[in-house]
Amino acid sequence: MTKPQLIIFDLDGTLMNTLGDITACLNAALSECGYPTHDSAIEFINNGARRLIADALPPDVRTDETIDNVLAVYRDYYSACTNDLTFPYEGTVEMVHKLKKAKLKLALFSNKDHEHVMRLMNRDFPGLFDCIVGISPDVLPKPNPGGIDKILFSTQCQKNKTLYVGDSRVDILTARNAGLTMYGVNWGFKGNEPFISDPQLPTVDTPAQLTKRILHLCNE
């Protein structure tokens, strides 16, 4: 790719470990609605809140009405959550500061509801991102590339000067659908598992390694 101007990050499993709070709120909603809970939400994560609920419910009750009802309860719990079990991965805050110092534009596209995204970003990455996009009535969940298009329009950057960074198969599909170059991160929820079937996809093991590679691209 040409010298990058914009880096678009995923949130859950890339910048932040959000699994603890998602699991707690999911189980609270399932329990309140009378359905079995799970030891972890890791198998259901990355596809947005509605898909999270649908996949966590027993298959024989996955009607639209049931999903909507449990989703509403989950959103209430997550909105009230103090995010005590959510934290940036080690090195990601330093990485973002270094990329910002290098005059790169930074953006985020998450499958979380936009209000929940903003709460976390304002807490842990305040003022560091040029554009932040979560799911809303006018933004469909990934792998739909609509959120990417919104970011590109807002930042006035071109696709061939944009790099996408994520940790999941959904991120791979999002980057492909948007026509973006991608780096996969191996520190996410499932390690390098999402990238095994795509051996040509470049991956990194630490935020420091990702920072070094991006800055190298900038100086080529």
What local confidence, expressed as pLDDT, does residue 13 receive?
Answer: 96
Average pLDDT of adjacent 10-residue blocks, the chain of 220 residues:
92 97 97 97 91 96 97 96 95 98 97 95 98 96 97 97 97 97 96 92 97 93
Give Rg (Cα) of the chain: 17
Rounded Cα distance, 14 and 36, in Å: 29
Nearest in space to 161 (alpha carbons), one of 85, 123, 217, 204: 217
Q: Give the domains, in start order, of the chain with CATH numbers.
A: 6-17+87-219 (3.40.50.1000), 19-80 (1.10.150.240)
Place of tokens 């998602």: 22
Which ranges of the chain would DSSP assign to H, the alpha helix? 19-32, 49-56, 64-80, 92-101, 114-124, 146-155, 169-178, 207-219
Q: Are 181 and 174 in contact (CB under 8 A)?
A: no
